[in-house]
Amino acid sequence: MEEARSLDWFSIAVAGFPETHPQAESPDADLRFLKEKVDAGADLVITQLFYDNEDYYRFVERARAIGIEVPILPGVFPVLGAEQTRRFTSFCASKIPPRLDALLDKVADDNDAAVAMGIDYATEQCEGLLAFGVPGIHFFVYNRSRSATTIVENLSLSDPGARAAR
């Protein structure tokens, strides 16, 4: 195993939960379990979806405080529809912030409008995460990459020169 891990294209990522895994006995127990996964050889953490960046920032702070030093990539799930977003967040016990909840209400019956709103919301979310200094961003796209592609274009991430000029 060690030999394979030395290859630059191979790494082990584990899941982290900024809002605590729904089956965890407590936030501290959940974080201790994450540390066990990292100590067992994880190279990075990819978080479960969240819609409030403050949850991610606190999660990183708490993880660093207990000695988790690997990169922690935020998992961003652009809204594709109001009903789907509410269903997914209920499955993983993630919260919908009041501002996003109000936006979802406005696009509840229009998936095209929901996708456009989701792109805008996720672009704003990613701008905040990049300003915070995240090591990268993981997009959950579920075979629907248009939103992520547009967000990357909005952030000028597809053209490093354009980003540097901002």
Per-residue pLDDT 10s for the chain (166 aa) are: 344 445 567 889 999 999 999 999 999 999 999 999 999 999 999 999 999 999 999 999 999 999 999 999 999 999 999 999 999 898 888 999 999 999 999 999 999 999 999 999 999 999 999 999 999 999 998 877 889 999 999 998 655 554 444 4
The CATH number of 2-165 is 3.20.20.220
Q: Where are the domains of the chain?
A: 2-165
Return d(Cα 7, Cα 160) in angstroms, integer. 26
- Separation in Å, CA 153 to CA 59, 120, 134: 28, 12, 18
pLDDT of the residue at 126: 97
Return d(Cα 131, Cα 25) in angstroms, integer. 33
37 CB-contact burial (10 Å; exposed 0-12 / middle 13-18 / buried 19+): middle
Return d(Cα 85, Cα 108) in angstroms, integer. 10
pLDDT of the residue at 143: 77
Selection from 45, 120, 132 nearest residue 78 by Cα: 120
The 3-state DSSP class for residue 4 equals helix
- pLDDT of 4-22, one tens digit each? 445 567 889 999 999 999 9
Q: H or E stretch including 13?
A: strand 13-16
Q: Residue type at 72?
A: I
pLDDT of the residue at 165: 45
